[in-house]
A and B are shown apart, each in its own frame.
Chain A
Amino acid sequence: MLKRALAIITLIIIGYWLAQGLAGVPFGEDKMLVGQYYLDNVKEQTGAVNAVTAVVVNYRGFDTLGEVTVLFIASTGVGALLWRRKKQRTAKTEGSIVLTTGTRLLVPFVMLFGAYIFIHGHLTPGGGFPGGATIATAFLLLYMAFTAYEIPHKAFEKTEGAVGMAYVLVGLIGLAIGGYFLYDWIWQDWGFGVDNVGRLLSGGFIPIIYTIIGLKVGTELSGIIDNMLKEEVSE
């Protein structure tokens, strides 16, 4: 009781202190130093209509490379901690016929929609991370509906590594062509899709990077699901 009361009092003090800090931040005023620049120049400089993805992949692409790495570490870490010499799925109850049939019908659509999200990252809201998560959802559905389903691990693991390398390689090509790491050579040097802004074939390297991220996130999250659903079996 005393503990809880003390915790509540401490929280109130911290909350009051944070509110004091927040009160000093002007609310609803124009504080966009850098933000205005992005909004004014995004179309000419990156070819993307979606300003958020242009910032995330192009202007601040370095952060996104880092975020992709964070996810990679999460999946690697789960893999390292749950590693067993032999693992199998030990689920017991088969799903009902409605569930299995429904899943069979639904999975292709979910995957298609996931691919749609990450391919259209420079045009519509979304991008690589939501697209990849949607694809992983399709695999989660398969795991939940079928007791024996397993993803092809070898292929998934290799894809995960290969697309990760592809992202860094795109950056390194930029270093070789334009002299800067993560330089958007497709848009700035080749001018590919310049009169096509707002359509699919534009946006410089954003669609390419987002396809890479989508595949990577999809395989990684599916790998985490796979690792967590399996149990050790004796040989």
Chain B
Amino acid sequence: MNGQYASLLIALPLISAFFVPLIKGFGKKAVKYYLIAVTAVQTGIAAWIFQQVYTTGQPIIVMAGAWRPPVGINLYIGHFAALFVLIIAAVSFLMAVFSLKAIEVEPIDKYAMLFLLLMLGATGMIATGDIFNLFVFMEITAISAYALTAYNKTGEAAEASMKYIILGGIGSSFFLIGVALIYGALGTLNMAQIAQLAGTIDPTVAQVGLALIIFGLAVEAEIFPLNAWAPDAYQAAPHPVTAMFSGFVVKAGLYAMARILYLMQASAGWNSILGLLITLGTLTVIVGELAALRQRDVKRMVAYSSIAQVGFIAVGFALGTQAGVNAAVFHMVNHAVVKVLMFLAIGHVAVILGGSELERFKGLGKRMPLTAFAITIGAISITGVPLFNVFWSKMQLVMASMAAGKTGVIALILAASVVEAVYYFRLIHTMWFTGEGERISEGLAISLMLLFLAALVIVIGVYPDYAWSIAQKAGNDIFNVAQYIKNVPLMGVGA
């Protein structure tokens, strides 16, 4: 089949979101099932693209309007994008099913539109091959995230959204100034051509432009010091949306950061930007872990833990070696699986018991054994116990930092894992060894989703080879810029 049909990844969520006002008359149930159907089709398309890219080994280049880059905008669906587009679609599908139970606040039609557009924005950010187009998709993601954060219409949701919107607004202006600087210096917006010309750029312009872009993306990617909005937003947003934030919105920001960083590899002054990112990533880990340690609310605790994991990924990308990038990508995949599992389970508890404070989790092992089991699997995995998936990616991160000679990073990862063990084992202890309670029915659909995700955690943990080989290919897609340039059919404008 024609590779251009991959543009359906963008077209389908858009046209479906625009269609929602026309069907809202059929009632709440209809809109929710419609959402499930659309995300299921999107998952199908993403799976087809994943299969295409990984069997042929060639990226799919979508050229919008038949204009060859750099004149037109192209989508670059290589190994990385194919993998993450599939993860985005699958997570959205699971969360659409979860929304059936979890979303009761009106207006449900607007929720469905914003949900689809959040998925669209993240897909576009991962797939695009043009930095201004990246900005547009980032705005789509960010603005739907602002609206979804405030969706519950409580005071704290409004406050969280306000913080997010102000930080996000400042961040995207920084990003735009960075793009303008790079365009001013190079005269092109296409990523492949930027990479081609990166060697000729003035070092000060490259440094200022890259730093601005990294600060701009740091808001979406939850890098310290621009992540103050995240814990509040995670706590106040509807439960399915929280899982989507942690599952792929952060990942899209991190990926964009890594992509632009490695495009400019050839520019002078690149190493100082790596140094900046490694400092920011380290601070993110430290602040996230220490803040998680003293939380009384489980959702907030997991939100801080999520921020700390993002720090690990940023540090992996900042090592500047192939091994570091591979490890970071592997950690992104594992983190997406585990955190979606955690937020799904915790959201499920919060929906049934009416809140996510630590006290409510007492005796959960007796009241909701399956959910408690899923949370336990997720928690053990995040701390990095062998035979669970996160162990392998933390291991790879440690090995990559060893090879890069950054011993401080190894100490950081190990120390952070100890802190993680403290607060996650406290949660596990609360669930299984304190409190009493009656059995509560847990619901078939959510039980199945929890079992599926828990099984995925264990399968990747026991047989990491397949997932690791995928992560290596995806990492190579980011690191090997020469190959990236070769794959994009640039027409010889100005070169």
CB within 8 Å of B: which A101-147 residues: none
A80 and B73 contact, CB distance less than 8 A: no
Per-residue interface assignment for chain B, residues 205 to 218, with 1 indicating a CB less than 8 Å from any chain A CB and 0 otherwise: 10111000000000
B101 proximity list for chain A (CB < 8 A) = none
CB within 8 Å of A: which B141-163 residues: 143-144, 146-147, 150-151, 153
B132 proximity list for chain A (CB < 8 A) = 60, 63
Does A86 lie at the interface of the complex (its beta carbon under 8 Å from any beta carbon of B)?
A: no
Does B124 lie at the interface of the complex (its beta carbon under 8 Å from any beta carbon of A)?
A: yes
B11 and A168 contact, CB distance less than 8 A: yes
CB-CB under 8 A for A182 and B64, given A60-B72, A63-B133, A165-B18: yes
CB-CB under 8 A for A184 and B65, given A34-B494, A76-B113, A165-B19: yes
Does B5 lie at the interface of the complex (its beta carbon under 8 Å from any beta carbon of A)?
A: yes
- Nearest B residue to A162 via CB reads B22
A188 and B66 contact, CB distance less than 8 A: yes
Does B456 lie at the interface of the complex (its beta carbon under 8 Å from any beta carbon of A)?
A: no
CB within 8 Å of A: which B66-125 residues: 66-67, 70-73, 106-107, 110-111, 113-114, 117, 120, 124
CB-CB under 8 A for A21 and B73, given A36-B494, A62-B133, A157-B21: no
CB within 8 Å of A: which B35-91 residues: 62-67, 70-73
B17 proximity list for chain A (CB < 8 A) = 69, 72, 164
CB-CB under 8 A for A22 and B133, given A31-B187, A73-B114, A77-B114: no
Does A1 lie at the interface of the complex (its beta carbon under 8 Å from any beta carbon of B)?
A: no
Q: Which of A24, A160, A172 touches B205 (beta carbons < 8 Å)?
A: A24
Does B4 lie at the interface of the complex (its beta carbon under 8 Å from any beta carbon of A)?
A: yes
Per-residue interface assignment for chain A, residues 66 to 94, with 1 indicating a CB less than 8 Å from any chain B CB and 0 otherwise: 11011011101101110101000000000
- Nearest A residue to B157 via CB reads A81
A70 and B139 contact, CB distance less than 8 A: yes
Cα A44 to Cα B321 with chains together (Å): 46
B73 proximity list for chain A (CB < 8 A) = 60, 62-63
Stretch from B177-185, B297-305, B337-345 at the A interface: B177-185
Q: Identify which of A36, A66, A183 gathers the most chain B CB atoms within 10 Å of its CB.
A: A66
Cα A57 to Cα B197 with chains together (Å): 27
Does B402 lie at the interface of the complex (its beta carbon under 8 Å from any beta carbon of A)?
A: no
Does A199 lie at the interface of the complex (its beta carbon under 8 Å from any beta carbon of B)?
A: no
A59 proximity list for chain B (CB < 8 A) = 65, 67, 71-72
B18 and A181 contact, CB distance less than 8 A: no
CB-CB under 8 A for A174 and B65, given A35-B187, A157-B21: yes
Does B286 lie at the interface of the complex (its beta carbon under 8 Å from any beta carbon of A)?
A: no
Per-residue interface assignment for chain A, residues 157 to 196, with 1 indicating a CB less than 8 Å from any chain B CB and 0 otherwise: 1101110110011011011001111111000100000000
Task: Give the total number of A-B pairs whose CB atoms are below 8 A apart.
Answer: 188
Cα A174 to Cα B184 with chains together (Å): 33
A interface bracket (residues with beta carbon within 8 Å of B) = 35 or more
B67 and A179 contact, CB distance less than 8 A: no
Does A53 lie at the interface of the complex (its beta carbon under 8 Å from any beta carbon of B)?
A: no
**How many residues belonging to B are interface residues under a CB distance threshold of 8 Å?**
66
Does A5 lie at the interface of the complex (its beta carbon under 8 Å from any beta carbon of B)?
A: no
Shortest A58–chain B CB gap in Å is: 6
Q: Which of B63, B106, B193 touches A180 (beta carbons < 8 Å)?
A: B63
Query: Majority SS of interface residues in chain A?
Result: helix
Does B136 lie at the interface of the complex (its beta carbon under 8 Å from any beta carbon of A)?
A: yes
Does B441 lie at the interface of the complex (its beta carbon under 8 Å from any beta carbon of A)?
A: no
B147 and A25 contact, CB distance less than 8 A: no
Does B356 lie at the interface of the complex (its beta carbon under 8 Å from any beta carbon of A)?
A: no
B144 and A77 contact, CB distance less than 8 A: yes
- Nearest B residue to A80 via CB reads B110
B136 and A67 contact, CB distance less than 8 A: yes
A24 and B204 contact, CB distance less than 8 A: yes
- Nearest A residue to B146 via CB reads A77
CB-CB under 8 A for A172 and B11, given A31-B184, A180-B64: yes
Shortest B206–chain A CB gap in Å is: 8
Shortest A176–chain B CB gap in Å is: 10
- Nearest B residue to A77 via CB reads B147
B181 and A33 contact, CB distance less than 8 A: no
A161 and B19 contact, CB distance less than 8 A: yes
B190 proximity list for chain A (CB < 8 A) = 34
B140 and A73 contact, CB distance less than 8 A: yes
Cα A66 to Cα B137 with chains together (Å): 7
A61 and B144 contact, CB distance less than 8 A: no
Shortest B16–chain A CB gap in Å is: 9
B62 and A63 contact, CB distance less than 8 A: no
- Nearest A residue to B5 via CB reads A175
Shortest A49–chain B CB gap in Å is: 19
Does B20 lie at the interface of the complex (its beta carbon under 8 Å from any beta carbon of A)?
A: yes
Q: Identify which of A24, A31, A70 gathers the most chain B CB atoms within 10 Å of its CB.
A: A24
Does B467 lie at the interface of the complex (its beta carbon under 8 Å from any beta carbon of A)?
A: no
CB-CB under 8 A for A181 and B14, given A24-B202, A74-B143, A80-B110: no
B67 and A24 contact, CB distance less than 8 A: no
CB-CB under 8 A for A58 and B65, given A25-B184, A161-B19, A181-B11: yes
A18 and B208 contact, CB distance less than 8 A: yes
A181 and B143 contact, CB distance less than 8 A: no
Cα A158 to Cα B17 with chains together (Å): 12
Shortest A98–chain B CB gap in Å is: 38
A17 proximity list for chain B (CB < 8 A) = 208
Does B444 lie at the interface of the complex (its beta carbon under 8 Å from any beta carbon of A)?
A: no
A25 and B4 contact, CB distance less than 8 A: no
A83 and B110 contact, CB distance less than 8 A: yes
Does B227 lie at the interface of the complex (its beta carbon under 8 Å from any beta carbon of A)?
A: no
B181 and A22 contact, CB distance less than 8 A: yes
6 A-B pairs with the lowest CB-CB distances in the bound complex, closest first: A21-B208, A77-B147, A33-B494, A164-B18, A66-B136, A181-B7
